[in-house]
Amino acid sequence: MFRGGWGQHSWWQGKFRGCGYRITLGREAILDVLSKSDKHLSAEDIYTKVHSKYPNVGLTTVYRTLDVLVNLGLVFKSDFGDKRARYELAEGPKGAHHHHHLICTNCNRVIDYTDFIDEEIELLNRTEKGLSKKYNFKITNHLIQFYGLCSNCVGK
Amino acid sequence: MFRGGWGQHSWWQGKFRGCGYRITLGREAILDVLSKSDKHLSAEDIYTKVHSKYPNVGLTTVYRTLDVLVNLGLVFKSDFGDKRARYELAEGPKGAHHHHHLICTNCNRVIDYTDFIDEEIELLNRTEKGLSKKYNFKITNHLIQFYGLCSNCVGK
DNA sequence: GATACTATTGATAATCATTTTCATTAATAC
DNA sequence: GTATTAATGAAAATGATTATCAATAGTATC
Ligand SMILES: [Mn+2]
Ligand SMILES: [Mn+2]
Ligand SMILES: [Zn+2]
Ligand SMILES: [Zn+2]
């Protein structure tokens, strides 16, 4: 069967196969949509895009695939306060891609930033160390989001 | 009508009245439950407690009151990954009470911490300043959560 | 390529926290 | 007290996400 224009071995397929998952057309399409977007997509956003090209891929499969991808650590699932979960690639061909978010409370725009990560990480490490000791809590991850008004909304 | 043991003027009633809201028995009961708990309660948790004392207060009123309280800034609404929203007092008789969270990914325990390390505050100030300038984004609030294993779960 | 095994899928129904609706009740101003 | 209208409860609606289950399609083996 012909398989779109993704080439024989996409960067993610190794990890995927290694965990015993099968490579299917729907899964390829979903990862393709995620790879080509820099937005924070909802399951339905993804479904709409995939479905326009492959009308036989259903919303259920999108949810199920996203779940797998999140568990594999290939995708991040976030909650920005609208009622739906948002998904974005956590790791691309180039590797990991940790970042934090600026969220506009007026227009709901979400900005990724990685600029200050280095400086932040340094201080985060110290903070995490202090907290770990004080509360005997083994920190494995963090969520940092700043809320406010984006450049479009700050002038009211 | 007799009104429980809350005294004539609870600390929150001024703010409440000032915004044009009426003081009702249900609202008093809900705020009383929140005041007396140091947990992160769901709407239904609150409903259950209120309802045992005032069986004529409904779940809808709990949701509506919490919504008002969140908008007034008297209550914080959080999402810890179980599917329900969690509520806690943001401001008590003693004043504001900003804190961050440690969340156990194993048992879902949530630990508040307010004893910010100096470095953490320093980090936030510098980051916020840098981000504001770079993205022309007016930061008004932040959400910081650390995920990991609590003292009960760290030993597996 | 054909076969067997079983993971994956789509259509549908179910779940469940939260919202809406709307007629009734009660807090507040006068 | 009376009038005004915010607040309420019961019930139905909503909407994102999950569960069900028979049909389909990947994959390993021949
Ligand atoms: Mn992002
Ligand atoms: Mn808290
Ligand atoms: Zn904005
Ligand atoms: Zn724990």
Residue nearest to nucleotide C6 (CA to C1'): A22
- What distance in Å separates the CA atoms of residue B37 and residue B88, rounded to the nearest whole number? 8
Q: Assign 3-state DSSP to chain A and report helix, strand, coil percentages, each to 5.
A: 40, 20, 40
Q: Is the sign of the CA dihedral A97, A102, A104, A105 positive or negative?
A: positive
Any strand C atom closer than 7 Å to B152 CB: no
Tens digits of residue pLDDT in B88-143: 999 777 777 889 999 998 888 999 988 766 777 887 888 888 899 999 999 998 99
- Read off the amino acid at residue B79: D
Tell me which nucleotides of strand D come within 7 A of a protein CB: 6-11, 15-20, 25-27
Residues in chain B: 156
pLDDT at A7 (0 to 100): 54
Any strand D atom closer than 7 Å to A68 CB: no
Annotated domain spans of chain B:
1-94, 98-156
- What distance in Å separates the CA atoms of residue B30 and residue B62, rounded to the nearest whole number? 7
Which residue, A10, A8, A3, is CA-closest to A89?
Answer: A10
- Chain A residues within 8 angstroms (CB to CB) of chain B: 79, 102, 104-105, 111, 113, 115-116, 119-120, 123-124, 126-128, 130-131, 134-151, 154
Any strand D atom closer than 7 Å to B28 CB: no
Q: Measured in angstroms, how far is the CA atom of residue A18 from the centroid of ligand 1?
A: 27
Tens digits of residue pLDDT in B23-52: 999 999 999 999 999 999 999 999 999 999
Count the neighbouring beta carbons within 10 Å of the beta carbon of residue B80. 16
Which residue, B127, B147, B123, is CA-closest to B135?
Answer: B127
Domain A1-94 identical in fold to domain A98-156: no
Q: Count interface pairs A-B at CB distance under 8 A.
A: 120
Residue of A nearest to B117 (CA): A127
Tell which CATH architecture fits domain B98-156: 2-Layer Sandwich (3.30)
Which residue, A125, A130, A67, A138, is CA-closest to B103?
Answer: A138
Show the tokens assigned to A58.
Answer: 């259903």
Show the tokens assigned to B15.
Answer: 């703010």
Tell which CATH architecture fits domain A1-94: Orthogonal Bundle (1.10)
Q: What is the pTM of this model?
A: 0.89
Nucleotide nearest to B42 (CA to C1'): C17
Tens digits of residue pLDDT in A59-87: 999 999 999 999 999 999 999 989 999 99
Tens digits of residue pLDDT in A107-138: 889 999 987 677 777 778 888 888 899 999 99
> What stretch of H or E contains A141?
strand A138-149
B119:A120 CB<8 A? no
> What stretch of H or E contains B35?
helix B25-36
- Read off the DSSP letter of residue B54: -
Name, in order, each residue with C-beta under 8 angstroms of B5's C-beta and a sequence gap of 6 or more.
none
Where are the extended beta strands (E) located within B4-135? 41-42, 75-78, 86-89, 91-92, 95-96, 100-104, 110-113
pLDDT at B6 (0 to 100): 58
Show the tokens assigned to B79.
Answer: 């999402």
